[in-house]
Amino acid sequence: MKLSIIVPVYNVEPYIEQCLASIYSQTFIDFECIMIDDGSTDKSGESCEAYARMDSRFHVIHQLNKGVNFARDTALHQATGEYIGFVDADDYIEKDMFFTLMNSAIGNKADVVICNWWDVGENYCKTSTHYTITGRLSKELAMQSLALDKISSHLWNKIFKRHLLDEAKVLFTAKNMGDYSWMHHIFHKADIFFYVNKKLYFYRYRADSIIHNTNLTKMVQRYSIAKERRDFYKLYYPHMLVFANVGAFKQAWNLCKNYACPLASGEKETYLEADSFIKEFANEYINVLNVGKKERLSLWFYAHFTKGVRIWKILRKKLVFLH
């Protein structure tokens, strides 16, 4: 078996048929698809059962709801493929996605193959492109690009040599931002990377999904994980620390520009640390990314009028609530 495709499934009845049909129609046929029904309360599990009955390459496992990362971990323990790919159950893929990725992997003896994707919403479909070339990436460039988020930490636009995930298996139990928590650990174990400049995956944006349902607590957690990634780079790739700082800065900036300081003690400490980090590394962030005038002005205003900005955010939320 060359490829194992892992599909975590939870209450995606309106989308699961399109997802599984796109996997069933793949021009690359030497695969198994492991569907983990993570305690769905709708008919998602029945759709999985239908594909398992129709095609012996499809296998379904039903379990109590434990979350997407535990579902992936369950599937990984059952997977037999030399390479592992992931598809989210509310997304879908081009019919030649895995043919393209597997050909690139086998032809280049690659440990990780990455592609571009489409962002799909209710009334739009737009491209998401990070690289405009097809070819091998040095480990140096891959690690640097990951730190800068030029290569995303998503699982679903990549395939991986199985041993990379076996060695990082314990990391799959992370409860928050699982992909972001351990993608740098996986890349660290890999040697050969290949990038395919084709949009092969359709990532569906759903406002009601857990991923997009962000709040202050989740943003604080994201910055905490970004700090952990920065510490990882400081230990293993100290010459890339500036890029890891930029990646952490993005999370700090998303937190502090969108939310007022929380009252809970642990969250408050993390928030204030992010606030200090913004002020300390703003110039570095601006210089590395060569950011535009609008963002420069926003950063300057935040740095010089922090208290006023926080008061405005509190008032703005109260006004929104009243309306």
- Please classify residue 319 by burial: count the beta carbons closer than 10 Å to its beta carbon, then call 0-12 exposed, 13-18 middle and 19+ buried: exposed
Give me the pLDDT at residue 128, please: 64
Q: Tell me, what's the pLDDT at 296?
A: 86
Out of 140-144, 280-284, 305-309, the most confident range is: 140-144
Residue pair 181/223 in contact by the 8 Å Cβ criterion: no
Are 32 and 123 members of one domain?
yes
Q: According to the model, what pLDDT value does residue 212 have?
A: 47
Interhelix angle 265-289/216-236, nearest 10 degrees: 60
Q: Which of 204, 236, 257 is the endpoint of a domain?
A: 204
pLDDT for 264 beyond 90: no
Closest CA to 142 of 84, 187, 189: 187
Does the residue 110 lie in any domain?
yes
pLDDT digits (tens, 9 = 90+) for 212-245: 446 888 899 899 999 999 999 999 999 999 999 9
pLDDT for 109-167, tens place per residue? 999 999 999 998 777 666 766 777 899 999 999 999 999 999 999 999 999 999 999 76
Task: Point out the least confidently predicted range of 4-8, 175-179, 268-272.
Answer: 175-179
Q: Is residue 86 part of a domain?
A: yes
210 domain residue, yes or no: no
- Between residues 72 and 309, which one has the greater pLDDT? 72
The domain containing residue 309 runs over which residues?
Answer: 216-322
Closest-CA residue to 113 (of 83, 73, 82): 83
Whether 147 and 275 map to the same domain: the answer is no
Do 164 and 186 fall within a single domain? yes
Considering the domain architecture, whether residues 187 and 266 belong to the same structural domain is answered as no
Instruction: Confirm whether 211 is domain-assigned.
Output: no
Could you read off the pLDDT of 69-113 as tens digits, one per residue? 889 989 999 999 999 999 999 999 999 999 999 999 999 999 999
Q: Are residues 190 and 87 in the same domain?
A: yes
**Does residue 106 sit in the same domain as residue 254?**
no
Lowest mean pLDDT among 37-41, 53-57, 207-211: 207-211
Average pLDDT over residues 263-273: 88
Q: What is the DSSP letter of 240?
A: G
Residue/partner pairs of 285-289 with CB below 8 Å, 24 or more apart: 285/245, 285/246, 285/249, 285/253, 288/148, 288/242, 288/243, 288/246, 289/148, 289/246
**CATH number of the domain residue 104 falls in:** 3.90.550.10
Q: Are residues 306 and 200 in the same domain?
A: no
Q: Which two tokens stand for residue 141?
A: 């460039």
Tokens describing residue 128: 């998401």
Q: Is pLDDT at 183 greater than 50 in this prediction? A: yes
Instruction: Report pTM.
Output: 0.89
Q: Which of 204, 232, 249 is the last residue of a domain?
A: 204
The arithmetic mean of pLDDT across residues 12-25, rounded, is 98
Output 204 or 323, whichever has higher pLDDT: 204
Is 219 in contact with 254 (CB distance < 8 Å)? yes
Do 193 and 118 lie in one domain? The reply is yes
Q: Is residue 106 domain-resident?
A: yes
Residues 296, 272 share a domain: yes
Residues 64 and 123 in one domain: yes
Helix (H, G, I), strand (E, B) or coil at 97: helix
Q: What is the pLDDT of residue 263?
A: 79
Q: Over range 18-37, report the average pLDDT.
A: 98
Are both 191 and 262 inside the same structural domain?
Answer: no
Whether 260 maps to a domain, the answer reads yes
Of the three residues 150, 178, 204, the one that is the final residue of a domain is 204
Residue 257 placed within a domain: yes
Instruction: Flag whether 209 is in a domain.
Output: no
- Number of folded domains in the chain? 2
Residues 179 and 243 in one domain: no
The mean predicted confidence, pLDDT, of the chain is 88
* Nearest C-alpha neighbor of 222 from the set 260, 251, 264: 251
